[in-house]
Amino acid sequence: MLFPTLDFAVFFLVVFALAWALRRMASARKTLLLVASYFFYGYWDWRFCFLLLGASLIAWVAGIAISGATGERARRGIVAVSVGVLLLILGFFKYYGFFLESLGDLLRGAGIERDLPLMAVILPVGISFFTFQAISYVVDVYRREIPAARSPLDLLLYVSFFPQLVAGPIVRAADFMPQLAERPRLTRFMLSYGLVLVLVGLLKKMVVANWLATHLVDDVFLVPESHDMPTLLLAAYGYAVQIYCDFSGYSDIAIGTAALLGYHFRENFRQPYRAASLQEFWRRWHISLSQWLRDCLYKPLGGSKSGRIATYRNLFLTMFLGGLWHGAAYNFVIWGAMHGAALGLERAARERFSPRPGGPRDAAFKRIAWAPRPWHGHGLVRFLAILATFHFVTLAWIFFRAENFTTATAYLSGLASLSGSFEAWTPFHLLLVFVPLAFHFTPHDLDMRCGRALRRWPALALAFGFAACLVLIQLISPPGTAPFIYFQF
Amino acid sequence: MLPSAPIARPKPAPPSPAVPRAARRRRRPRKDGRDTAANVRAGLFVFLAAFAGLALFRSGDLVSTTYDLPPGETSEAVIALAETWHGWMEAIGTAQAGDAVVETVGALASGDLFEGTSFFPATDG
């Protein structure tokens, strides 16, 4: 079930009414939300509900076993086994086809022809997200941030809760599960803030992302050889905006619908293209995954506490594996490796050129307003750093979006040709690309401010405003319903 | 008997609240319950208004959606109902108003709205 469809609208209306009718009956409410979440997921293919159930039960059993284990070694062993099993399931669905093809190529290269056990494995929607949530629960129980759930109901609901089930945000168990123990409330702010987020998410996805995809990006990335440099450049900017609006639009709707049901999710995007460094970019882009990778991969690898070289290695490995997580394709690997290498270089540059606090260079820098206080200052230098970061991220997106490595290189050679006309730079395309970018420089909590302002509106005005905005979004969006980009991950 | 002198008792200080005022203000379970119920009603009203708005201005989409229903007597009845509704919306003009917006955006996308307009003039490669 997709968010911007009539099916979901009817589904949510029913769930909203029933969930609040059962407000005083905690177990019944949770059961209702659980059934609704499985219905939401089974709407694509009911067979995958068993996979979702299996992943949840593995995490539940692991949680109980961890809390019952006495020694630290036993606790660690249970975490390793359960996380290993969950990753094995994820790996099977995500990489089975890729490894089998690669193995076949390898054997053929060595002159060995073998009939490999080919099997069509369909990638279940959102498998990464619910697997990561299950792992998050096991890790949080191991770190004693939350107690192990005695009843499976809370855990099943945490893993499958429909607003964030298929494309995040990856909600940490320590954030969400305590909320299940409280009686839910719907304040006027939560109502208005939730409605604002739903509208903003729909606008981003249905209007900006869908128009950019259907009118510019898809055509250009399909055959980059037949387009000139200005069109390729605009399409690269267009994809940067499209993927942001598509993904953050989903997160906005997810956070908004959760708020309407009385639950709080943390923000997942914070104006990422205003970042003045890659480190800052990853603190603003898909925040929940960045934090998950930091806590469950970067820190266990040793983080930044094992020396300089090990830190660079850990940074690179984290981003490389983050790239591989997106899919078993060289494009994603290159994308992850680019970010990993650039993050390492950026860290090295910062360590080399940043003035030591209190040192003579620091004092000199403080006297010059625009002095190169790398990645933290204001003014011209920060503006240039934002431009450089945005262009690096956009360059890496080309690998992410291109069908294969050949297409990506064709795209880059087209960009390097430095000739062509600007016919594709129409007012419509410029509007779609640059207005969302301009919004990156508004106050970061604009949606929250709108929610605060609207909470004083009477219900009639709120209903009229919401209905008018929703109808307008429907009218100005292109025909058809495109799936969200991150559903495939 | 000597009149007893009045003992000057200090004025009792107001009892210091065990719970700070701000926290007490936050703890209003009964009012919270009423607020939640009122906000849920407001939410339902908002959603129904949104459905009404879509039914008014996107009645054509309603008809297309009903065409996707599995064949059967009920579906036939629903399709007939949707078509009748769409006819009414055309009669009062809301369907055309919606279509006019769709056409304007289409013209903006195709460039017809700004015929020959480009951000930069076309140049030869």
Evaluate whether residue A1 is within a structural domain. Answer: no
Contact between A160 and A31 under an 8 Å Cβ cutoff? The reply is: no
**Pairwise CB contact (< 8 Å): B120 & A462:** no
Cβ distance A360 to A366 under 8 Å?
A: no
| Residue A381 to residue A370: CA distance in whole angstroms | 6
What digits encode the pLDDT tens for the residues A85-130? 998 998 888 887 777 777 777 777 777 766 666 556 667 788 888 9
Q: What is the mean pLDDT of residues A57-67?
A: 93
Q: Give B107→chain A minimum CA distance, Å.
A: 10
Eight-class DSSP state of A163: G
Give A428→chain B minimum CA distance, Å: 6
Chain A nearest-CA distance from B18, in A, is: 23
What is the sign, positive or negative, of the torsion defined by CA atoms of A370, A375, A377, A378?
positive
Residue pLDDT, tens place only, A156-203: 999 999 998 887 788 888 889 999 988 899 999 999 999 999 999 999
A289 three-class SS: helix
pLDDT of residue B2: 45
Same domain, A178 and A208: no
Whether residue A168 is found in the same domain as residue A203: no
The pLDDT score that the predictor gives to residue A99 is 74
| In-domain check, residue A425 | yes
* pLDDT score recorded for residue B31: 60
Q: Quickly state the pLDDT bin for B73 (edges 50, 70, 90).
A: confident
Dihedral sign from CA coordinates of A243, A244, A250, A254: positive
Choose the catalytic residue: A326, A339, A429, A440: A326
For residues A258-267, give the mean pLDDT: 93
Q: What sign has the CA pseudo-torsion A341, A347, A349, A352?
A: negative
A233 vs A227: CA distance, rounded Å: 10
Question: Is ipTM over 0.90?
Answer: no
Domain-ending residue, one of A184, A211, A244: A184
Q: Is the dihedral of CA A400, A402, A406, A412 positive or negative?
A: negative
Q: Which residue of A has its CA nearest to B62?
A: A6
| Cα separation of the two ends of chain A | 16
My answer on whether A308 and A221 are in the same domain is yes
Residue A241 tokens, joined: 């905006």
Residues A114 and A208 in one domain: no
Residue B66: enclosing H or E segment and its boundaries?
A: helix B59-67
Same domain, residue pair A56 and A145:
yes
- pLDDT for A453-484, tens place per residue? 998 889 999 999 999 999 999 999 988 766 67
**Do A471 and B53 lie within an 8 Å CB cutoff?**
yes
Which residues on A lie below 8 Å from B78 (Cβ)?
none
Report yes or no on A401 lying in a domain.
yes
Residue A70 lies in a domain: yes
Q: How many domains does chain A have?
A: 2
Which chain B residue has the Cα nearest residue A470?
Answer: B50
Q: What percent of chain A has pLDDT over 70?
A: 91
DSSP A72-106: HHHHHHHHHHHHHHHHHHHHHHHHHHHHHHHHHHH
Task: Count how many pairs of residues, chain A against chain B, have C-beta atoms within 8 Å.
Answer: 126
Average pLDDT, chain A: 86
DSSP letters, A239-268, are: HHHHHHHHHHHHHHHHHHHHHHTT-----S
pLDDT in the model for residue A59: 94
Q: What is the pLDDT of residues A396-431, one digit of tens each?
A: 999 999 988 889 999 999 988 877 788 888 889 999
Q: Is A259 a domain residue?
A: yes
Residues A193 and A264 in one domain: yes
Least confident of A6-20, A67-81, A368-382, B44-58: A368-382
| DSSP notation for B107-123 | HHHHT-TTTT--SS---
pLDDT score recorded for residue A327: 76
All residues at 6 or more sequence positions from A483 whose CB lies less than 8 Å from its CB, including other chains = A2
**Residues spanned by the domain of A14:** 6-184
Q: What is the pLDDT of residue A212?
A: 94
Predicted confidence (pLDDT) at residue B26 exceeds the cutoff of 80:
no
pLDDT at A207 over 90: yes
**Closest by Cβ to A186, choosing from B36, B47, B56:** B36
Average pLDDT over residues A438-453: 90
Look at residue A60 in the predicted model and tell me its pLDDT: 94
What is the Cα–Cα distance from A153 to A190, expressed in whole angstroms?
Answer: 25
Check whether residue A231 and residue A363 sit in a common domain. yes
**Separation between Cα atoms, residue A179 and residue A182, nearest integer Å:** 5
Domain final residue pick, A137, A167, A184: A184
Position A355 in a domain: yes
pLDDT band at A69 (very low <50, low <70, confident <90, very high): confident
Minimal Cα distance from B54: which residue of A? Answer: A471
Residue A116 has a pLDDT of 60
| Chain-chain contact of B49 with A215 (C-beta, under 8 angstroms) | no
Closest CA to A376 of A386, A390, A367: A386
Query: Across the interface, which of B36, B50, B123 has its CB nearest the CB of A421?
Result: B123
Q: Do B53 and A470 touch (CB under 8 A)?
A: yes
* CA Rg value for chain B: 34
B100 reaches A (C-beta below 8 A): no
Predicted local confidence at residue A355, as pLDDT: 63
- For chain A, positions 124-183, list CB contacts with chain B under 8 A: none
**So what's the pLDDT on residue B88?**
93
Beta-carbon separation of A230 and B120 below 8 A: yes
B119 pLDDT exceeds 60? no
**Is residue A227 annotated as part of the catalytic site, yes or no?**
no
Cβ contact B61–A474 (<8 Å): yes
